[in-house]
Structure 1
Amino acid sequence: MADTPDWLTQVVYAHRGLHGEGVPENSLAAFALAAERGLGIECDIRVSRDGRAIVFHDAVLDRLTGSAGVLAGLTVGELTAFRLGDTDQSIPTLRDLLTQVSGRVPLLIELKTDRRDSVHMLCRAVRRDLEGYTGPVAVMSFDPRVPAWFASRLADLPRGLVVTEENGRTLSGALRRWLALRAARATFLAYDIRDLPSRFASRSGLPLLTWTVKSRAHADVARAAAAAPIMEGPVLEELAEDGWGVAPREARS
């Protein structure tokens, strides 16, 4: 198993960037604000019809663009023409994000999948964009096939399994988690904050991140579990102002 770099658990991550009023989630504006404050950036990636890595959370466009459509059925040119809400921000590509951040802060890339389909096209699109990128970056997914794919092809890339125990707090649920972890060949876990502390997480022996931290109470749970928080909302800026988990300013220049 590849060693997990220290930076992975030593920073606070802005969930989908530092978004809020007038600044959409997973937008270049949200990522710029996060990087300016020295926060790590968590983002979501899907793949376009023509095999490009697109920064977008949902499988469909409605909630974030106000337009109907399935992301996987559209090309990169069609997708980047959409505006996010009532703003001047368009849907970015992963390449756009990498160019903007340029290694200043850590990136945590969550790959979103449809469990019925192959993950190869999505993972290959991400790998292609990461070629030559020298900044701190990690990939993760709920789908154990994703970290397993990267384990076979980019063994030095940190790769995580995203886990929730929701609707699975049974013996059979625990067994499914262990089987998923074994299949994933993950080097870290990204755990649902609602499930911490977790016996499964502790017994895995893997470095721990946690999502989505939205309050000081959540932040306290994350600290107690020694889990790097993936955060959003007012508490994110409050804790950033306190200097918790912020990258050194010289690393952002």
Structure 2
Amino acid sequence: MDWLTARPIAHRGLHTASEGVIENMPSAFTAAIGGNYAIECDVQCSADGEAMVHHDGVLDRLTETTGPLGGRTVAELKRVDFRNTADRMLTLGELCDLVAGRVTLIVEIKHQRDAKSPLPKRVADVLSSYKGPVATMSFDPDQIATVREQAPNLVRGIVAERNFHPKDWGPMSGWERFRLAHLLHAPTSKPQFVSYRVADLPALAPTLARALFGIPLICWTVRTPEDRAQAEACKAQITFEGFRA
């Protein structure tokens, strides 16, 4: 899987908000392709079960609209105006058409509080027919297990950090946090790479995964020279933003 770590990974595309290039928007992805960077993006689920390219579960931070993304259909989300750009939200399929295999695409499936969400199955369905270098990943091992069941040939990874916060996950026992941080779910989720928080490196679990099983390590999110030095010391490919790698 050398293609996965061959190039630095532009976090949510190569975005510069002050120049009207907004994260997870077509302009940011076009800029990343122009720089020959791999692309990381996020997907959330629309009300009608489509994979939409957007990080937050709510629309307030980046758009002129408020409220949960998951309460709106694709058609409604397409009409949402973003601040500082004329770009519109993409479906995952539209992003695949835009990238068209020119650079590596890494799709993060955002954690869904509803265990019955159709999002991981929809992502697997869209990416199964994509011809370019692509992988999917998630903090949620259950979603990665679903992807493996739906599309066994689709490369999949796990995202992790030392601490899993209640604001993102809801109430969680100390054991469950420990399990996620140390990748103890790996026998069932079977990740093929690990994306770990750079501030939490070095960490035992991803180090052992690479040493024992050859599992590639990438890290998030590198924003400073210190972050980059830490990633290099741990031999991890960087997922970066705020500069050109």
Structure with greater contact order relative to length (CA < 8 Å, sep ≥ 6): 1
Task: Give the match's secondary structure for 2:61.
Answer: helix
Q: Is the 8 A contact 2:124 2:154 kept in 1?
A: no
User: How far has the Cα of 1:134 moved from its partner?
Assistant: 0.7
> In the alignment, which residue of structure 1 is the partner of 2:14?
18
Q: How many matched pairs? A: 229
> In the alignment, which residue of structure 2 is the partner of 1:242?
none
Rounded Cα–Cα distance in structure 2 between residues aligned with 1:183 and 1:128? 21
User: How far has the Cα of 1:66 moved from its partner?
Assistant: 2.8
> In the alignment, which residue of structure 2 is the partner of 1:220?
229
> In the alignment, which residue of structure 1 is the partner of 2:188?
183
Task: Give the match's secondary structure for 2:43.
Answer: strand
User: How far has the Cα of 1:86 moved from its partner?
Assistant: 2.6
Q: What TM-score, normalized by structure 1, do the two folds share? A: 0.85
For the pair 1:196 / 2:201, whether they are aligned, the reply is yes
What residue identity is the alignment partner of 1:162?
V
Which of 145, 148, 156 is the aligned partner of 1:148?
145
Rounded Cα–Cα distance in structure 2 between residues aligned with 1:132 and 1:174? 36
Q: Is the 8 A contact 1:48 1:75 kept in 2?
A: yes
> In the alignment, which residue of structure 2 is the partner of 1:245?
none
Q: What TM-score, normalized by structure 2, do the two folds share? A: 0.88
Q: Is the 8 A contact 1:115 1:143 kept in 2?
A: no
What residue identity is the alignment partner of 1:226?
K
After TM superposition, what 4+ stretches of structure 1 lie above 4 angstroms from structure 2? none
What residue identity is the alignment partner of 2:116?
S
CA RMSD of aligned residues (A): 1.7
Task: Give the match's secondary structure for 1:23.
Answer: coil
For the pair 1:211 / 2:211, whether they are aligned, the reply is no
User: How far has the Cα of 1:225 moved from its partner?
Assistant: 1.3
Structure 2 unaligned spans of 5+: 166-173
Structure 1 unaligned spans of 5+: 240-253
Rounded Cα–Cα distance in structure 2 between residues aligned with 1:125 and 1:151? 13
What residue identity is the alignment partner of 1:215?
T
Instruction: Identify the range of structure 1 (126-135 vs 106-115) with the bigger mean alpha-carbon deviation.
Output: 126-135
